[in-house]
Structure 1
Amino acid sequence: MQEQVERISLKNSLNGSLSAQFTSKNYLDDYSANLRMSWEVDIWGKAAMQKRDAKATYFAQKENLSALKTRIIVQVAQAYYDLLGLDEQLKIAQKNIELSDSTLNMMKLQYTAGSISSLALNQSEAQKKTAELLVPLAKANIAVQENALQILCGEYPNTVARAGNLNASEFAVEVPSGIPASLLSRRPDVKASEYAVMSAYAKTGLAKATMYPTLSLSPSIGVNSFQFDTWFNFPGSVTKSIAANLAQPIFRKKQLRTAYQVALLEQEKAAIQFKQSYITAVGEVNDAMSRLKYADERIVLATEKSVSLEKATSDAGLLYKSGMASYLEVIVAQNSSLQNELDVVAIKLEKLNAAINLYRALGGGAQ
């Protein structure tokens, strides 16, 4: 709303000259108040393109948030299974301490009887210490892993309650011969890249439309009177007008064309990133499937090896008691059994992590 009072000088205006003759004043009062509005006629569909751009940007950010949540879920799951793996390592170390202690007591008796030298006794004690060293290391790693898991869950460092153990956490995953493309399209990062392409296309169209002429309409309504007391007499003092404006950006032509070329490059960049994200998704799925497939084969072989090494350890102890094996053979058998048990735990963790990565690679996670 604009109120304007104009006093037109007699010397500079014909109206002022006539006013002096009819009203005995050397000026002419003109009271006016106007309300003006302006609309740009959307000839080239700018509003629709802006809407598509805003919508695509919103959904892209939403998918990025889902991708972040999915990564956190995967990290929590992997951290939990790593914690169960550390629990298994602690159990293996404690079991080997008992085995080494039994062997050491037997050797102490033989040393007292003069059947073996102090070298055998010392090496047996060293073997026991090797197993004992794993216990504080496993406990320290367990405490650190519990703290890390609590922090990932948004909690202060504390102990973590377990639900079962690593062996009970094993699950069978059927690896299909092919992965439908529809599953990969569920991945938040792939969907975010797709929305980025849609946004880039809308921005390109908007940059192109900016180079074209624009048509705007400016209607106005107000009141006007030469006398203040009749200013708001309706409808006599009402004034109405409408103006049309056609503008062509001549002086900004080079700038707008450059902006359009930049938008085209951004569009091509978004398309390449989308293609790359999809190829990356396919690669991650294949990697996870391969790790799952060969982890099962390794677990079978490692389990068979564990059975053989357990029997070898038992036989070495019996043969040593009967004098048919040396103490070195007993120690080597125990060391091999300990290392293989730790390897089995590591392979099981690899399988669980591969299953989690496959779940994430196929678009599983936060909704």
Structure 2
Amino acid sequence: MKTYMYKALGVLAVILMFTACSVPSITNRSANTHVPAAYHGPQDTTNTARINWKEYFADPYLHALIDSALSNNQELHITLQQLQIYKNDISARKGEYLPSVTLGARSGVEKRARYTPLGAMEATTHIEPGKEMPGMEMPEPLPDFMIGAFATWEVDIWRKLRNAKKAATMEYLASLEGRNFMVTNLVAEIADAYYQLLALDSELAIIQQNIRITRNVLQIVRYQKQATRATELAVKRFEAQLLNIQGLQYDIQQEIIEAENHINFLVGRFPQPVQRSSQDFNNLTPPAVHAGIPAQLLQNRPDIRQAELELEAAKLDVKVARAQFYPSLGITAGVGYQAFNPSYLLRTPESMLYSLAGDLVAPLVNRNAIKAGYRNANARQLQAVIDYEQTILRAYIEVVNQLSAIDNLAQSYDLKQQQVQVLNTSIDISNDLFRSTRADYMEVLMTQRDALESKFQLIELKKRQLTAIVTIYQALGGGWTRQSTQ
């Protein structure tokens, strides 16, 4: 027995040496997670991303919309089901390295052909009628009844199955971060859509105000025409201006409907009016932003954490693929009862059966599929490394861009606000001069047009300011914290 064992161990050693030496080489590269020490200038570790979105966004109507979206958004529910799929994969992988036991029962009947080895053997043991011996009859045809328990187990020598289970766990954790990233995007998208809607409301109010002003000026022009102080051309130009502004009103109303329905879609409900603040849009004050330090992105950004976990899963997949080159040890066992007569089925030990076997199998020739799978796993690992580095770089650039946008938009908004104030004053001056025939009607039209455009531009700048505030919160990784997603 010892000799057989030594021979078996010797054969196993030869197989291991052959398989180990013939594993193809791969390219392995670690991810570069270096980021600059600061975005620009001296900064502290105070980070806006750590603030709950309910504190970051002060509008209670916006709070209600975000809460509703986190509960009812359909895309988010689809992601939650995907999380459950990944979680089930972990259970399936865990079951692969544990013994599998099945219970089974079988019944059947068989008639062997006479001129076959088994048929001839059965014929020689058949007992003629009248000469039966109790318990020795061999019926023809031969029934078969069996009941038993059977087990199979692949011994995880090379941790192939455990690494596969760890890889599935990493994929599940990565999908959790993906869900957090979706929450961040959802919060930002609703906030941005909400501010877009407020901006449209403000534009509609400006249009309606300009309609009233233009109507008043048109009335003055008509009076002046009756007094021969203005021509029909002036009347027609102001009428055309009024019609143009009225057309803009309906365009904005349509945009408001579409903006409301976009929010309704994100919230997961059918079209309905969106409750919102009536505060003057230009008086909205953006919250203060603290970017912290770039290194905090590695912990705050869910997409970076997701890429990191996917890289860890890819590394484990390479180990699993490498283990395919090594021998696998499988153990099978069974115990039960089998008889050709149901009355003999549970007789012990006559009807009892059992088995125990071990299989050691290693790939020897034609291993192209295993090599290809190994190289593919390595390629996916390199992809994950590059994706991880790219995600870090993209996150850093997004933060830098938005910090710059916040500063530049603030300066631009101040200048545009001064321009609007000047043009508002110019409207009053031009109207007074026109009433006293000291200004041409074209000057009035041009002044009104410039004032309208500047007011629209001011609203656009305010909207871009608020969008930048939303985007920087998203870029820093805010909006997904546990208390904000419950």
Scaled by the length of structure 1, what TM-score is found?
Answer: 0.83
Closer, same or farther: CA 358–166 of 1 in aligned 2, 3 Å: farther
Q: How many residues align?
A: 359
Whether the 8 Å contact between 1:218 and 1:243 is mirrored in structure 2 is yes
2:286 touches 2:466 (CA, 8 Å); kept in 1? no
CA shift, 1:209, in A, is 0.8
What SS does structure 1 have at the residue aligned with 2:331?
strand
1:62 counterpart (156, 176, 188) = 176
| Residue aligning to 1:20 | none
TM-score (norm 2): 0.64
- 8 Å CA contact 1:28–1:226 kept in 2: the answer is no
Which of 275-284 and 82-91 deviates more? 275-284
* Equivalence for 1:145: 259
2:246 match: 132
Select the residue among 403, 410, 414 that pairs with 1:289.
Answer: 403
Asked if residue 43 in structure 1 is aligned to residue 157 in structure 2, the reply is yes
Could you tell me which amino acid in structure 2 is paired with residue 247 of structure 1? Answer: V
Residues 114 and 264 from structure 1, CA distance in 2 versus in 1: closer, same or farther, beyond 3 angstroms?
A: same
Q: Which residue of the other structure, out of 451, 456, 464, is the alignment partner of 1:350?
A: 464
For residues 9 and 321 of structure 1, the distance between their equivalents in structure 2, rounded to whole angstroms, comes to 123
Distance 1:67 1:279 in 2: 17
SS in 1 for 2:273: coil
- Structure 1 residue runs without a partner (length 5+): 17-22
Matched with 2:275 is: 161
1:198 aligns with 2:303: no
Q: Structure 1 residues 228 and 137, CA, compared in 2 at 3 Å: closer, same or farther?
A: closer
Q: Which moved more, 1:113-122 or 1:345-354?
A: 113-122
- Say whether 1:185 aligns with 2:290: no
Q: Which moved more, 1:56-65 or 1:337-346?
A: 56-65
CA distance in 1, matches of 2:407, 2:413: 10
Distance 1:158 1:177 in 2: 37
Residue 64 of structure 1: how far off its partner (Å):
2.8
- What runs of 5+ residues in structure 2 fail to find an aligned partner? 1-103, 126-131, 139-144
d(CA) in 1 for partners of 2:235 and 2:106?
A: 109
Change (3 A) 1:181 1:11: same
Residue of structure 2 aligned with 1:335, choices 434, 449, 452: 449
Counterpart residue identity of residue 181, structure 1:
A
1:317 aligns with 2:431: yes
For residue 201 of structure 2, the aligned residue among 84, 87, 105 is: 87
Asked if the contact 2:413/2:458 (under 8 Å) is kept, the reply is yes
CA distance in 2, matches of 1:129, 1:320: 21
Aligned to 2:5: none
Structure 1 residues 38 and 162: alpha-carbon distance in aligned structure 2, compared to 1, 3 A threshold: closer
The separation in 1 between residues aligned to 2:264 and 2:349, in whole angstroms, is 75
Deviation at 1:77? 2.1
Identify which of 384, 394, 397 aligns with 1:270: 384
CA contact (8 A) 1:56 1:198 kept: yes
Cα distance, 1:106–1:259 mapped onto 2, change above 3 Å = same
Structure having the higher Rg: 1
Per the alignment, do residues 230 and 284 of structure 1 end up closer, same or farther by CA in structure 2, a change over 3 Å counting? same
Partner Cα separation in structure 2 for residue 327 and residue 199 of structure 1: 73
Q: Which secondary structure state, in structure 1, belongs to the residue aligned with residue 300 of structure 2? A: coil
Partners of 2:476 and 2:337 lie apart in 1 by: 68
The CA deviation string for residues 34-66 of structure 1, in whole angstroms up to 9 with x for no partner, is 654332222111232011111112222333333
Matched residue, 2:54: none
> Is the aligned partner of 1:115 residue 2:222?
no
User: Which range is displaced more, 259-268 or 284-293?
Assistant: 284-293
Q: Is the 8 A contact 2:170 2:313 kept in 1?
A: yes
Equivalent pair of 2:298/2:305 in contact (CA under 8 Å): no
Distance 1:306 1:323 in 2: 25
Which of 373, 387, 397 is matched with 1:259 structurally? 373
Distance 1:79 1:12 in 2: 86
Matched AA of 1:340: S
User: Which whole-Å deviations, capped at 9, do the CAs of 1:40-99 have from their partners, x for residues lacking one?
Assistant: 222111232011111112222333333334333333222222111111111111111222
- AA in 2 matched with 1:38: T
CA contact (8 A) 2:149 2:335 kept: yes
Q: 2:414 corresponds to which letter in structure 1?
A: V
Q: Per the alignment, do residues 223 and 306 of structure 1 end up closer, same or farther by CA in structure 2, a change over 3 Å counting? A: closer
Query: Sequence identity, in percent?
Result: 28
Q: Is residue 77 of structure 1 aligned with residue 187 of structure 2?
A: no
Distance 2:352 2:378 in 1: 50
Which whole-Å CA distance do the structure 1 matches of 2:342 and 2:208 have between them? 103
